[in-house]
Amino acid sequence: MKIGILISGRGSNMLAIVEAVQSGLIPASEVTVVISDKTSAEGLLKAKERGIETLAVTRKGRTCEEHDAEIIAELKKRNVELICLAGYLRLLSKEFISAFPNQIINIHPSLLPAFKGLDAQRQAIEYGVKVSGCTVHFVDVALDHGAIIAQKTVEVKDDDTAESLAARILEHEHALYIESVKRIAEGKIKIVGRRVGLVKN
Ligand code: GRF
């Protein structure tokens, strides 16, 4: 399975997936390309150091659709079959979603549908929830809305700040994202409407 990863920044989830693929934990797969919408994304260098092709495709004053068209073309050119969003800070156009049906997944640092959008960990702290976590889900046209593949709960402690909660959630994000990509690579995921389940052998 050819995987493309889209990032905008640090790229720790991207790196976790790259390492899981390179160590064979995610079978029969390769990370074919890492694309960032920001030339300065730290993750680009980390990917390059691991021998992965990297591209910066910036918006350059274009519309979302024009920008996405270039990214779609780069992914199609490389026959990418699964696209992992990993801290990619842009909404995808409907053209992007329909170019890769059920082939785009994302990780979000809350238990969706709670706390969609930016700063989910701060939203959780400010709301006062006792439990938060992370979610891997398919991407559709609505923000943080697509069918849920996997979730992991993380306790919110009394003295947590947005930063300390984010750090604790992040440790679980990496494992959850790897597990989800592995299930997809093994063909073990079935989708019925909004419900994503495991294929029984
Ligand atoms: C993660 O918290 C992820 O859940 C969210 O953006 C952050 C990206 O972190 N979508 P990194 O770039 O993977 O380190």
Atom in ligand 1 nearest the alpha carbon of residue 10: 12
Under a CB-based contact definition with an 8 Å cutoff, are residues 181 and 20 in contact?
yes
Q: Is the CB of 4 under 6 A from ligand 1?
A: no
Mean pLDDT by 10 residues, the chain (201 residues): 98 98 98 98 98 97 97 98 97 97 98 98 98 98 96 98 98 98 97 94 72
Q: Is the CB of 10 under 6 A from ligand 1?
A: yes
Predicted TM-score (pTM) of the model is 0.97
Identity of residue 176: L
Whether residue 109 is preceded by a cis peptide bond, meaning omega within 30 degrees of 0, is no
Under a CB-based contact definition with an 8 Å cutoff, are residues 37 and 57 in contact?
yes
